[in-house]
Amino acid sequence: MTISPSTIEAYKNYLVSKNRASAAITEHLRYANRFAAFIGCEKLCVELLLEYRRYIDEKYTTYNSKNACISYANSFLRFLNETELLLAYFERKRGSAKIKTPALTEEDITKLLHYEEITPVISAWHKGRRLKKLTDDYRKTSLVIRLIIATGIRTSELPDVTVKAVSQGYIEVKYRANMRKVVLSDGIRNRLLLFAKDQGITSGSLFLTSNGLPCERNAVFRAFGRLATLVDIAPKRLTSDALRKYYNDKRLKENISTVQTSLGYKTINYFVEYDPPKTEILAKNLDALLAL
């Protein structure tokens, strides 16, 4: 069979019916379109799929990037009911172990939450509207970081953070087919309401792009990189997973089932990937840190 625009549209409807998050649907469609562009008008066959796999191997350098492309392509092939053409994942070569990125420390979190005290002058040449735009961007990003380490919310769930939800004190988020309630503390709730007031947002999502659309995951990651660079932290260290791990490490001593529910996982297997919390002092100081 061949791939046509109607096939991509049908794939989109299929993802929506599976209750996938909007950010996940965007990623699936982006890779599906890239796969379709490579295939062109050719009929799907083993030789063509092997050629696509070689193309991925040459284009990307890391195993994670290569296997991400393979995963998205296989998802599309399953939708097409072409299970016999599924691509094999790239295996990590012996001796090329993955380098573990250092976890975020309390000092890093303090820098991110209080960037304006560490960097009082952003840049000498930024003036007028440009400076205001940068300041608003840094403030919004810092608030997103504060929200994640306070609640464990995902970046793909940020569109669910609306004025109405913040006003009522809890956020109902949907991840795939699961619904859960994220309760906001008074401190984070007041900060979100103040941000909405300052930005003139009276309804809908709090975190918007310059075009007035809810922030997608990729836009949030780019904003993370800009703020991390500003406070002298390696951008690759500041990720959603790193922030959620920080939340996990500080809350895990309280009640594992509570943390599991707030992070939105069905089982506790995810915690196996994390190192056991080693700092009891940090666990006690998390609420005090967020209250500053």
In a domain, 39, yes or no: yes
If phi > 0 it is left, if psi is from -120 to 50 it is alpha, else beta; for residue 21 that is beta
Note the helical H segments in the chain.
5-17, 22-39, 46-59, 63-79, 106-113, 115-118, 128-151, 163-168, 186-199, 217-230, 240-251, 256-263, 280-291
Q: Which residues pair with 174 in a beta bridge?
A: 179
Q: Does residue 133 sit in the same domain as residue 57?
A: no
Q: Are residues 17 and 162 in the same domain?
A: no
One domain, residues 73 and 150: no
Is 100 part of any domain?
Answer: no
**181-214: b or e for each residue (b if 16 or more CB lie within 10 Å)?**
ebebeeebbebbbebbeeeebeeebbbbeeeeeb
CB 245 within 8 A of CB 274: yes
Please report whether residue 247 resides in a domain: yes
Q: Do 200 and 284 belong to one domain?
A: yes
81 lies in the same domain as 123: no
CA-to-CA separations, 27 to 14, 30, 156, 192, in angstroms, rounded: 14, 5, 12, 28
**Does residue 99 sit within a domain?**
no
Q: Are residues 118 and 12 in the same domain?
A: no
Are 44 and 1 within 8 A, CB to CB? yes
Instruction: Check if the beta carbon of residue 212 is closer than 8 Å to that of residue 201.
Output: no
Digit-coded pLDDT (tens) for 69-108: 999 999 999 999 988 889 888 887 665 555 566 788 888 8
pLDDT for the residue 79: 92
Same domain, 193 and 73: no
- 267 pLDDT band (50/70/90 cuts)? very low
Question: What CATH number is attached to the domain comprising 213?
Answer: 1.10.443.10
Characterize the bridge pairing of strands 170-175 and 178-183.
antiparallel
| Domain annotation covers residue 93 | no
Residue 228 lies in a domain: yes
Tell me the one-letter amino acid at 94.
R
The confidence score (pLDDT) of residue 125 equals: 42
- Please indicate, yes or no, whether residues 208 and 74 belong to a single structural domain of this protein: no
How many structural domains does the chain have?
2
Q: What CATH number does the domain containing 44 carry? A: 1.10.150
pLDDT at 150 over 80: yes
Q: Give the pLDDT confidence score for residue 120 in this predicted structure.
A: 52
Single out the residue in 34, 54, 85 at which a domain terminates.
Answer: 85
> Do 81 and 118 have their domain in common?
no
Which is nearest to 187 in space by CA: 66, 291, 59, 63?
291
pLDDT at 21: 82
> What token pair was written down for 176?
């795939």
Is the pLDDT assigned to residue 130 strictly greater than 80?
no
Share of the chain above pLDDT 70, in %: 75
Give domain status of residue 209, yes or no: yes
User: Are 111 and 68 found together in one domain?
Assistant: no
90 lies in a domain? Answer: no
Q: How far is C-alpha 41 from the chain's CA centre?
A: 34
pLDDT for the residue 278: 39
- Out of 85, 116, 132, pick the residue that ends a domain: 85
- Residue 214: pLDDT band (50, 70, 90) is confident
Q: 56 pLDDT exceeds 80?
A: yes
Q: Which domain holds residue 151?
A: 106-291
| Same domain, residue pair 79 and 167 | no
**In this structure, are 124 and 200 located in the same domain?**
yes
Domain-ending residue, one of 53, 85, 117: 85
